[in-house]
A and B are shown apart, each in its own frame.
Chain A
Amino acid sequence: MIHNSTDVIIKTVARIFIPFIQLYALYVIMHGHYSPGGGFQGGVILGASLILLLITHGERVAMQRISENWITILFSLGVLIYAGIGTLCLFFGGNFLDYGVLAPLLHVSPAAARSLGILGVEIGVGIAVMSVMVSIFYNIARSGPYRNKGTTARRES
């Protein structure tokens, strides 16, 4: 499935589409509090754009853009941002994910601190979901088809 396509139409259309899909995914993450969307939906759309790059341009070009080491670092970073903001609220004396107590740290009112805290959490969720989608697809689609009957027979004998 991850194979370099020899058709010029598919490569050109994918090359035009991918930046716009990523821009739209960032819009969905940032406007989660006002219109439908949020962290998870924006992360899935970002992952879909990278999977489109993998399908049309092949493994070598896509791995030059974003290697497998970076995917592993990114999904740990996403979870670290989410849990880190929650634990930072614990250090300042509030409950877990109680963003109001972060107000003296950011020099804003408590209502604005809650808004910024939710935005930070959504960004962490988006990054984590994007890397997990790309990692799952990359692990499933590698190294060609294998026949299930052959391996089962070898294990039983």
Chain B
Amino acid sequence: MIDFLYGIGFGLCFLVLVVLYRGIFGPGVYNRIAAVSAVGTKTLIILLIMGFIYNRVDMFIDISMVYALLNFVGTLAAAKYLEMEK
């Protein structure tokens, strides 16, 4: 079971690397905003996988819920800035 979770964790880290290419080299700011929002959703799952490996999931669910609720507030603020600039 632990090996299966490690495999899933490495797969998600590879996906984060692929998305991070768009976040760094993306021409313009809109690509970077979308890439950071996608990284936030992967971070949620990797936190829960670490909770399983430490064998105490009920503590790590609270941190994941913070990201689930506050992930879009940063994206909203960046979009608000770009709307006001025009």
The answer to A–B direct touch (Cβ < 8 A) is yes
Using a CB–CB cutoff of 8 Å, the interface residues on chain A facing chain B are: 1, 3, 5, 10, 17, 20-21, 24, 28, 35-37, 45, 48, 51-52, 55-56
Bound complex: CA A20 to CA B69 (Å) = 9
Within 8 Å of chain A (Cβ to Cβ): is B1? Answer: no
A48 adjacent to B58 (CB under 8 Å): no
Other-chain contact of B73, A3, A28, A36, A52 (Cβ < 8 Å): A52
Within 8 A of A (CB), among B70-86: 70, 73, 76-77, 80-81, 84
Please classify how large the interface on chain B is, using the bins under 10, 10 to 19, 20 to 34, 35 or more: 10 to 19
B59 in the interface (beta carbon within 8 A): yes
B residues in contact with A45, CB < 8 Å: 66, 69-70
Which residues does chain B contribute within 8 Å of A5, judged by CB atoms?
80
Q: Total A-B residue pairs with C-beta atoms closer than 8 Å?
A: 35
Interface residue B63 (Cβ < 8 Å from any Cβ of A): yes
Would you call B62 and A48 a contact (CB within 8 A)?
no
Q: Which residues of chain B have a CB within 8 Å of any CB of chain A?
A: 58-59, 62-63, 65-66, 69-70, 73, 76-77, 80-81, 84
Say whether, besides A10-B76, A55-B76, A36 and B59 are in contact (CB < 8 Å): yes
- What are some 24 contacts across the A-B interface (CB < 8 A)? A1-B77, A1-B80, A1-B84, A3-B84, A5-B80, A10-B76, A17-B69, A20-B69, A21-B69, A21-B70, A24-B66, A24-B69, A28-B62, A35-B59, A36-B62, A36-B63, A45-B66, A45-B69, A45-B70, A48-B70, A48-B73, A51-B73, A55-B77, A55-B80
